[in-house]
Structure 1
Amino acid sequence: MSEIEATATPGGTRPSSVGARAWIALATLWFIYVLNFLDRQLLSILAKPIQDTLHVTDSQLGLLGGLYFAFFYCFIAIPVGWLADRTNRVAVVSVACGIWSAATMACGLSRNFGELATARMTVGFGEAGGVPPSYAIITDYFPSGRRGMALGLFNLGPPVGAALGIAFGATIAAVFSWRDAFVAIGIVGLIVAVATPFLVKEPKRGGLDQVEGAPATAPAKAPFWATVKMFFSRPALVLAALASGITQIITYGMGNFSVLFLMREKGMGLGDVAVWYALVVAIGMSGGIFVSGWLLDRFTRKSKKAYALLPAISLSLALPFYIAFVWAPSWPLALALLSGPTFLNYFYLSSSVALVQEEVKPHQRVMSGALLLLVMNFIGMGVGPTFVGAASDFFHAAHPENSLQIALYALAPIYLVAIGLFLWLAKVLGRKIQSNGDA
């Protein structure tokens, strides 16, 4: 069965429907992405029993979830992207999933901080090889005009994984050992890693990008430095990465401290977090990413400016909800208001990923996706939680009861910076449309 059924057109053939093999590939890659984020949530949710067992300090936990993980995850993605652009991308994803799953099991078997730190850095190393090749594989399974929805569905992995991590982690801590959670997830990941090459076949690079019915030719191998130079010399790609990174300062800053804020300053209990906060994350993030993918496919057919205007509009709508969430006097009201930014904050993700995949050559897609993630995650992971934590400590002396609330208020102006960058991107895309003479 072919991935795409083609219909005749005056200029040749064009893709009209997506076959079963493409959907199986998407579902498999999505599940791998879910496991990726479920693992990340376990560390923060199970922090207390980990501390009790291994005597790990708060600062050490911060290094495990922040600097150590981000450094390996962000920078290893570049050579992995280069490798995947020149070899079998499905094999890269399969091996990466196996590495991080084995490392996840090692987290559960760790006897001290040194072993746990080594295991977590290996998790970051493995996870660096999962997402960028998956973007390119999906792009080669789905035609232009269907990629926004496909990538939107794929990007449901983080919210589902995050929600499962919250619910699973809070429950497992009370019923079983924290070690069992890491080992169980690691075993599942190893099984999926072995099954992936049988479920996902390597698609032809650029096979759905032929023009006027001409057969797609095998592209040349993507030179590493030439691809890096291409990416950072094109204003649209750089602006998409910067705007997304600034947006992630908000999402990572808010995401890393929302539970602590709701519990410490709003009076929410851990049991309520496991149920209600997990539901808000699952429904809000999933809904936002899915709807953004659907809107992208609808509006980018008229103009590529939609890749930038949709995130700008969604962030503008999210800002008042975010301010109201931080202000709310009780956790039920705060959680209800949090649904707004949780839904609207993530429109940027499918937009930026789809734009980058559309704008570069087929043999540069994995590397370009890795560069996008490098900029986004290094800015978001590196600045967001660090900024909120430092601001909370700064305000604690004068406002000990609500220092975290003031710190979260300080994220509000960053919305304006992100909106401005996306509007700038829309202007750049508009100029490119005019120069090309199309919409």
Structure 2
Amino acid sequence: MKTHLSSRYKTYALIVLTCTYMVSFLDRIMIGILLQPIKEDLQLSDTQLGFLTGIAFAVFYATLGIPMARWADKGNRVTIASLAIGAWGVMMLMTGFVTSFFQLLVVRIGAAVGEAGIFPPSFSLLSDYFSGKEQNKAFSIFMLGLSICLVIGYLIAGWVNQYYGWRMAFIVVAIPGFMLSLLIKLTLREPRKEIDNTNTPKEVAPPLRETFRHLWGIPTYRNIVMAYSMVNFVSIGVLQWCGAFFIRNYGMETAELGLWFGILGGGAGIGGTLMGGYIFDRFFTGNYHGFLRFTAIGVCMLFPCMAIMVWVPHKMISLMMLMPIIALGLFIYGPITALWQYLIHGRIRAVSQAITALVLNLIGMGLGPQAVGILSDYFNPTMGVSALSLAMVIATSAAFGAAFFFWRASNSVDADMASAMKNNKLYEAVGTDQPAEASSSASIILRGEGT
């Protein structure tokens, strides 16, 4: 389903949706720096911090993503996105007034509910606003919002906390949430309204059980989801503790920490995303088998990078190691997103994204922070401040599991892509629902195509 919209309007819609996605991630980025101030203020253990930032948030965010996506596949996506970012803003505002572990737990769950309703409708709307290479470029810009969010989130958290406290940092980010909620509702269009006014048959999403069965029947999909879950376990779950690590081990102030994290983390995020697309197009175009094996080898480097970061006795070297860790976690996103687009039909796109997010977030976002928190508390009586360092290194061993599943995916990817192209049920609207080429969208920006 494509609509006839002006280039100016599509650019505006892309900016609004990218900003919405970026803003909705701010709390997750900020809390990485604010864990230690929150711990000291509310007298929490590392296990409690891991629960707040991990399982408590991820369970609701991931599980609600599926019904939100089903709603996005059938309902008014503009309204859903507007309500979701507005609800997120309310939770950020309430975070500024919590005084206990239970209160913070409630607002983190509420934030998860709001965030769960943002990505599925936004991703689905972009699929209808753009087509072909336009779609590829739009997705790349949309996903770069996360890397930009690293810069903004770290800077806000660090500086606002240092001068006004951690509660004010959350209150500040609530403001753009409310503004974007209004912008989305008042200025974006729902393409389905145009279809409803014509005689064009509506696309009907298949039953959820059929969607699960279809996705599970794709070996490449299964293995990549498991692999990326373990990458997220490190790049999201373990890195969540980096702020606390630098405060405990080097006595850094949050303003200084926010500046370094913003510069290094944001630069590595943007660079990693773009370079991943460039590497794929330069060396692996049409060769996902080779790229997945290259990726399997690359993610193994997360372990030595993390070990150097936490055990090298020099603050600047330790800070610099953030760059390869973050870049390694993001460089595969563009090519893998393009691969998913080819393996999954447009009718189940939003639901499939939610199912994928369910697994990725439960393992990466949920278990990652919790595992580090539990290990840190376990080692603390004998190791003191070094307990967190050891916990982070042990948890990073999940990178080897990611390598195993990426390698397994490489064995089936050629057959699965060939099957997808021949399957009329999967591609009943070839040329309208699917991207024009199996290429990383991020590389289009790097090469200047489509501009």
Deviation at 1:38, TM superposition (A): 1.2
Q: Please give the residue correspondences for 1:121-132 in structure 2 after superposition, counting only pairs within 5 Å.
A: 121-132=109-120
Kept in 2, the 8 Å contact 1:3–1:141? The answer is yes
Contact 1:245/1:379, CA 8 A, preserved across alignment? yes
One-letter amino acid of the structure 2 residue matched with residue 410 of structure 1? I
In the other structure, the counterpart of 1:424 is: 408
Correspondent of 1:355 among 339, 343, 347: 339
Residue 407 of structure 1 pairs with residue 395 of structure 2: no
Q: 1:39, CA displacement in angstroms? A: 2.1
Q: Does the CA contact (< 8 Å) of 1:81 and 1:367 recur in 2?
A: yes
Which residue in 1 is equivalent to 2:360? 376
Partner of 1:345: 329
The equivalent of 2:131 in structure 1 is 143
1:392 aligns with 2:376: yes
Greater shift after overlay, 112-121 or 365-374?
A: 112-121
Contact 1:308 1:425 in 2 (8 A): yes
Q: Which amino acid aligns with 2:63?
A: F
CA contact (8 A) 1:248 1:376 kept: yes
Number of the residue aligned with 1:222 = 206
Question: 1:365 aligns to what?
Answer: 349
Find the aligned partners of 2:210 and 2:142 in 1 and give their Cα distance.
28
C-alpha change, 1:359 and 1:269, in structure 2 (3 Å) is same
Name the CA distance, whole Å, in 1 between partners of 2:215 and 2:178.
34
For residues 105-153 of structure 1, give each alpha carbon's deviation from its aligned partner in whole angstroms, at most 9, with x where no partner exists: 1222345544433222111111001112222222333334555543332
Measure how far apart 1:316 and its partner are.
4.5
Letter in structure 1 aligned against 2:18 = W
Aligned match for 2:177, one of 168, 184, 189: 189
TM-score by length of 1: 0.83
Does the CA-based 8 Å contact 1:391-1:407 persist in structure 2?
yes
> Does residue 28 in structure 1 map to residue 16 in structure 2?
yes
Superposed counterparts of 1:38-187, under 5 Å: 38-47=26-35, 59-110=47-98, 112-145=100-133, 147-187=135-175
The one-letter code matched in structure 1 to 2:17 is: L
Mapped to 1, the partners of 2:71 and 2:163 lie a distance apart of: 43
How far apart are 1:359 and its partner, in Å?
1.8
Matched with 1:330 is 314
Contact kept, 8 Å, 1:33 with 1:130, in 2: the verdict is yes
Do 1:321 and 1:341's aligned partners in 2 also have CA atoms closer than 8 Å? yes
Give me the whole-angstrom Cα distance separating, in 2, the residues matched to 1:47 and 1:436: 45
Structure-1 separation of matches of 2:405 and 2:102: 41
TM-score by length of 2: 0.81
CA distance in 2 between counterparts of 1:344 and 1:44 reads: 19
State the alpha-carbon separation in 2 of the partners of residues 245 and 296 from structure 1. Answer: 21
d(CA) in 1 for partners of 2:139, 2:386: 39
Higher relative contact order (CA 8 A, sep 6+): 2
Query: 1:290/1:150 Cα in 2 relative to 1: closer, same or farther (>3 Å)?
Result: farther
2: CA distance, partners of 1:73 / 1:136: 18
- Which sections of structure 2, spanning at least 5 residues, go unmatched? 423-437, 439-451
The 1:20/1:315 distance shift into structure 2, 3 A limit, reads farther
Q: Unpaired runs of 5+ in structure 1?
A: 6-17, 208-215
- Contact map agreement 1:151 1:293 (CA 8 A) in 2: no
- Map of 1:270 onto structure 2: 254
* Displacement after TM superposition at 1:194 (Å): 1.2
Which stretch shows the higher mean deviation, 291-300 or 88-97?
Answer: 291-300
How far is 1:293 from its partner? 4.0
Taking a change above 3 Å as real, the CA distance of residues 40 and 317 of structure 1, as seen in their structure-2 partners, is closer
Per-residue CA shift, 1:359-415, capped at 9, x if unaligned? Answer: 222120100000011000101122222222333344445544533333333245322
Tell me: CA distance 1:199–1:305, structure 2 relative to 1, closer, same or farther (3 Å): farther
C-alpha contact 2:55 2:370 (8 A) present in aligned 1: no
Given that 1:96 and 1:129 are in contact with CA atoms closer than 8 Å, whether structure 2 keeps it comes out as yes
One-letter identity of the residue aligned with 1:421: F
Report SS of the residue matched to 2:376. helix
SS of 1:222 mapped into structure 2: coil
Q: Counterpart in 2 of 1:259?
A: 243
* Match status 1:312 vs 2:296: yes
Shift of 1:217: 6.4
Give 1:283-298 correspondences, 5 Å limit.
283-295=267-279
Deviating more after overlay: 117-126 vs 402-411 = 402-411
Write the letter of the residue equivalent to 2:329. Answer: N
**1:286-314 deviation per Cα after TM superposition (whole angstroms, max 9, x unaligned):** 22123334555667752444773564354
Distance (Å, rounded) in 1 between the aligned partners of 2:8 and 2:160: 36
